């Protein structure tokens, strides 16, 4: 189960920033008679600003509600690898446990839904924020069992929510990780 926060506020603001960057790029390329495609590269910092709009995200696993928040993207340097460091809040009834985690997977652009996603992310690392000795063993073991597990996809960017068509911009043709950041070809 995936529950995303509302796409208002920050995401709306990011829509205008993204569209503004694209328009500035087109203006800079005005000397070209016809532009068939152009590329835009987002740094990790820029990507983190945009990704924060689709968090927190919630998953339910073994009767425990896991809320992932405070995402920090790390782009791999090969094979479209991507990691997201998140804060995890595990809740079962009145019991709570907070930890930091790293989810890693492959960058995937779904052209049909116009979304950039992390496909089949795996929870690789878990660091306790709270003292695990103060948390009941049942909740602690449920959280520990998540390490190494595959999760459903993680939504990073939703171009339909950005509504680029209002600016006369088509959906991206290609999205990939480069040494300079996330390359988006429109």
Q: In this predicted model, what pLDDT tens digit does every residue of 12-24 receive, in sequence order?
A: 666 666 666 666 6
Domains of the chain plus CATH, in order, are 3-185 (3.15.10.40)
pLDDT band at 47 (very low <50, low <70, confident <90, very high): confident
Predicted local distance difference test score (pLDDT) of residue 26: 57
pLDDT band at 5 (very low <50, low <70, confident <90, very high): very low
* Stated pTM of the model: 0.69
Residue 70 pLDDT greater than 90, yes or no: yes
The pLDDT, as a whole number, for residue 29 is 53
More confident residue, 61 or 8: 61
Strand bridging mode 174-178 / 3-4: unpaired
Instruction: State the Cα–Cα distance between residues 153 and 166, nearest whole angstrom.
Output: 28
Q: Which residue has the higher pLDDT, 163 or 39?
A: 39
**Residue 35 predicted with pLDDT over 70:** no
Asked if residue 97 has pLDDT above 80, the reply is: yes
What pLDDT score was predicted for residue 8? 55
Question: How far is it, in rounded angstroms, from Cα 80 to Cα 89?
Answer: 28
Residue the block writes with tokens 């890693």: 104
What pLDDT shows up at residue 166?
A: 67
57-68 pLDDT, tens per residue? 888 888 889 899
Q: How confident is the model at residue 185 (pLDDT cuts 50, 70, 90)?
A: confident
Residue-averaged pLDDT of the chain:
78
Between 54 and 66, name the one with better pLDDT: 66
- Say what the pLDDT of residue 31 is: 45
- The pLDDT, as a whole number, for residue 144 is 83
Q: What is the pLDDT of residue 102?
A: 92
């Amino acid at each position: 189960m995936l529950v995303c926060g509302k796409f208002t506020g920050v995401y709306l603001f990011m829509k205008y920033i993204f569209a503004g960057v694209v328009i500035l790029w087109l203006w800079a390329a005005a000397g070209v008679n016809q532009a068939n495609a152009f590329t835009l590269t987002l740094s990790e910092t820029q990507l983190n600003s945009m990704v924060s709009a689709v968090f927190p995200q919630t998953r339910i696993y073994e009767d425990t509600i896991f809320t992932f928040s405070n995402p920090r993207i790390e782009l791999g340097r090969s094979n479209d690898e991507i990691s997201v460091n998140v804060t995890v809040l595990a809740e079962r009834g009145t019991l709570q446990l907070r930890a930091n985690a790293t989810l890693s997977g492959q960058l995937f652009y779904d052209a049909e839904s116009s979304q950039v996603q992390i496909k089949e992310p795996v929870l690789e690392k878990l660091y306790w924020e709270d003292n695990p000795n103060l948390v009941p063993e049942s909740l602690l073991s449920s959280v520990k069992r998540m390490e190494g597990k595959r999760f459903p996809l993680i939504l990073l960017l939703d171009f339909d929510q950005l509504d680029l068509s209002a600016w006369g911009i088509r959906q991206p043709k290609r999205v990939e990780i480069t040494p300079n950041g996330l390359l988006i070809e429109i």
